[in-house]
A and B are shown apart, each in its own frame.
Chain A
Amino acid sequence: MYTILEKQALNDVVKLMVVKAPHVARKAGAGQFVIVKIDDFGERVPLTIADFDRRAGTVTIIFQEVGKSTKHLGALNSGDKLATFAGPLGHPTEIKRYGAVICVAGGVGIAPVYPIAKALKQAGNVVISIIGARNKGLLFWEERMRTVSDELIVCTDDGSYGRKAVVTEPLKEILSAKNISHVWAIGPAIMMKFVSMLTKEFNVPTVVSLNTIMIDGTGMCGGCRVLLDEGAKFVCVDGPEFDGHKIDWDSLLSRQRIYRDEELIASGRWEHICNLDKAVSGDKDK
């Protein structure tokens, strides 16, 4: 069992947790992920390692509440325990001195982009960051991102904060104006697809971090497979970072939808249970 030491809400739907897991903290690196399972009934959920402290033996995860598992996780508090916390999985990000780089983050993707931007900056790169979300309420860590970026552009789809744009708009302007040697993009698959299509036009190498459906996360089921130019790869062991220009995005997007009906059932059932709980504890209060 792994104890949650700290919990913070970064906005209405994004939560941060610090978890005691010395075996993962020992080896963790930027770009890697863990598999979290809440209890005996839980599913194995992949979440990026947002930060870690080797000496304290802790790992930080940041997640957006989108369905049953992440909502359930978000309802836990410090002191609660998780049944499984396995990792670090996947390969760490390859940090080098590339020159001028752009880090693009969409929504909860800001969390995994932050340690990468930080490491790139420390390695002597000029870092331009673009962070975007549907609206102001979904943004977080603007200040943190600013400290590791030479330039930061913030945008929202609805214009409620920063520039009213999707991230590809400022990206295109910078790519047209400047000589950029590398781009990182992490966010919803559809965003990574459009970023990759754009950077391909400009011939700028682009790394994306894929969030396919996973089961074991250790390379034994193939559920996470993605089609690249050279054939199928397993995201959990060969990735999660890949060359965005080689990915068959349409296949990736359709595979992410496989379990949509079941996800809705699970989520609906969870909310129902929560509401019952609330009703019961509400009764007690009275």
Chain B
Amino acid sequence: MTKQERIKIPRQEMPLQDKLIRRCNFEEVSLGLSEALAIKEAERCLQCKKPKCVEGCPVGVLIPQFIKALRKGDINESIRVMKIKNNLPAVCGRICPQETQCERNCFLGKTGEPVAIGRLERYIGDYELSRRTCPMVKPRDTGKKVAVVGSGPAGIACAVDLGREGHRVTIFESLHLPGGVLIYGIPEFRLPKSVVHSEIDYAVQCLGIEIKTDHIIGRTVTLDELLEEYDAVFIGTGAGLPNFMKIPGINYSGVMSANEFLTRINLMKAYRFPEYDTPVRIGGRVAVIGAGNVAMDSARCAVRLQKSMGMKSGEVHVIYRRSRDEVPARLEEFHHAEEEGIIFDFLTSPVEIIGDINGNVTGIKCIRMKLGDADISGRKKPVPVANSEFTIDVDTVIMALGTSPNPVVFTNNGNLRRTNDGTVVAGNETGRTSRERLWAGGDVVTGSATVISAMGAGKRAAADIHRFLSGEVS
């Protein structure tokens, strides 16, 4: 095929569940490419000599190589190439913000649509999960012991890479299931939990990694105790502490953090109450504050709960202080949310939550905003418009305003250097902290970021820990 012919092939659309049907269930929205579609999409790639796409990927997936193998039909080779850099293709293919990472840099994107790298990645990831053709092998035991705290993407990536070097790895997780945000935060309709469980089980079985759930580091065991027992310790505890807006009324019944709402639904399966014991309360008029991934997930879960409870007139609002162009969520999720009937109130900021005498939410008072000059981050700063207050009648308010690191893990660790935001200070290339034999990476270092950047940090720390354990560096 010539370059011109490749360029002419249109980007292959992802088959989706119909928008009216999917609003009523929690099943996956994107159905995955068929083999024919995947190969057709793979044919679009120009196999650039200097592939810019790779630079856009935080872990440097060998994109042209995996696509080349895929279109030759050698999927095993494609997976092998993928796993050199990324162990969780079925996860990343689904939820990386490709439009700001690999696909943004794709050469084809300059004139037309970029190669659907994420969709192809998901395709081979799913193929591998259903066939298990490319198992990792456990090398000779080095006898060195490493403790990994937290089983989110950062912890898992770090543990897997250390396991591949033959170190004895134990993961400590405070919840009853491993996976971090992938399990408790991101909903089933975007990332089926079976995918996460099987990716983790597979890696753990191949490499003999031990996962101790129900262990809250800082309470059950302290970091100091881990440092006594293990040769190295990695902290990947994420940024799980929810922020509440400092406005009156946040304690009314019906106001909750997105973390509470999503944890009830995803970790505890409240959407299947009473089959599962944990309930979740949602009214007919919901306001979600914020417009990141967390807000989209909350709003889309809210719609689904309303529909599954048979509410005909349910309404879900997303209240965001900037405009449509600044929405930080993954583009695809924003589009899907709009399709599912979520109402977006842009340039709007809450000033007060209103409740009745029984302590239940009845409304949210907001003020209109306009975009002013750019702030230090380069984004236009929203400023309130005088005398523009108005009230939206709601019975449920979900705060999706970002999170910071949960400090429990740091109990009695005053000497570990942290910033004013509570994040751990750690070297970007090594993950080293201010304490000896203690590494950190992922959201606990950067604040809320992405799955693949957390995995990248876990891998870089694993490489440094390995150098340290094998005596290459001290």
Contacts and interface: CB of A to CB of B under 8 A. Distances in A.
Interface of A: 23-24, 26-27, 37, 41-44, 68-69, 83-89, 215-216, 218-223, 225-227, 232, 237, 248, 250-251, 254-255, 257-259, 262-263, 265-266, 269
Interface string B258-288: 0110011001110001111111010000000
A232 B269 CA distance: 27
B244 A266 contact: no
Contacts of A88: 219-220
B219 A257 contact: no
Interface stretch (B39-47, B249-257, B376-384): B249-257
A245 B405 CA distance: 30
27 contacts: A23-B214, A41-B277, A44-B278, A84-B176, A85-B214, A86-B176, A86-B216, A86-B220, A87-B219, A87-B220, A89-B216, A215-B260, A215-B278, A218-B174, A218-B216, A219-B407, A220-B184, A220-B240, A221-B257, A223-B257, A226-B251, A248-B251, A254-B359, A255-B253, A258-B254, A259-B281, A263-B279
B326 to A, nearest CB: 26
Contacts of B220: 23-24, 26-27, 86-88
Given A254-B253, A259-B281, 18 more contacts: A23-B212, A27-B221, A86-B216, A86-B220, A215-B260, A215-B264, A216-B267, A221-B256, A221-B257, A221-B263, A222-B244, A222-B256, A223-B260, A226-B251, A227-B251, A232-B244, A251-B251, A254-B360
Contacts of A69: 277
Nearest to B276: A41
B408 A255 contact: no
A43 B272 CA distance: 12
Contacts of A248: 251
The 5 closest A-B pairs by CB, nearest first: A254-B359, A262-B279, A86-B214, A221-B260, A220-B240
B215 interface: yes
A79 B20 CA distance: 49
Contact of A269 (B174, B175, B260, B274): B274
A223 B256 CA distance: 7
B84 interface: no
Nearest to B355: A254
Nearest to A257: B253
B406 interface: yes
A41 B241 CA distance: 25
Nearest to B406: A219
Contacts of B358: 254
Contacts of A219: 240-241, 406-408
B56 interface: no
A89 B219 contact: yes
B242 interface: yes
B359 A23 contact: no
A234 to B, nearest CB: 9
A222 B219 contact: no
Q: Which of A44, A227, A257 has the most CB of B within 10 A?
A: A44
B277 A68 contact: yes
Contacts of A226: 251
A43 B277 contact: yes
Contact of A259 (B184, B279, B408): B279
B214 A222 contact: no
Contacts of A37: 176
B359 A255 contact: yes
B263 A265 contact: no
B176 A220 contact: no
B242 A222 contact: yes
Contacts of A215: 260, 263-264, 268, 278
A26 B264 CA distance: 30
Nearest to A255: B253
Nearest to A27: B220
A263 B358 CA distance: 19
Contacts of B184: 220
A188 B250 CA distance: 24
Contacts of A85: 214
Interface in B275-319: 275-279, 281
Nearest to B264: A215
A88 B216 CA distance: 8
Given A24-B220, A43-B277, A43-B278, A220 B244 contact: no
A34 to B, nearest CB: 9
A266 to B, nearest CB: 5
Nearest to A2: B214
B241 A225 contact: no
A221 B242 contact: yes
A85 B256 CA distance: 26
A237 B407 CA distance: 9
Given A219-B408, A222-B256, A222-B257, A86 B174 contact: yes
A27 B412 CA distance: 14
Interface in B189-225: 212-216, 219-221
Contacts of A222: 242, 244, 256-257, 259-260
Contacts of B263: 215-216, 220-221
Contacts of B359: 250-251, 254-255
Nearest to B216: A218
A87 B216 contact: yes
A87 B216 CA distance: 7
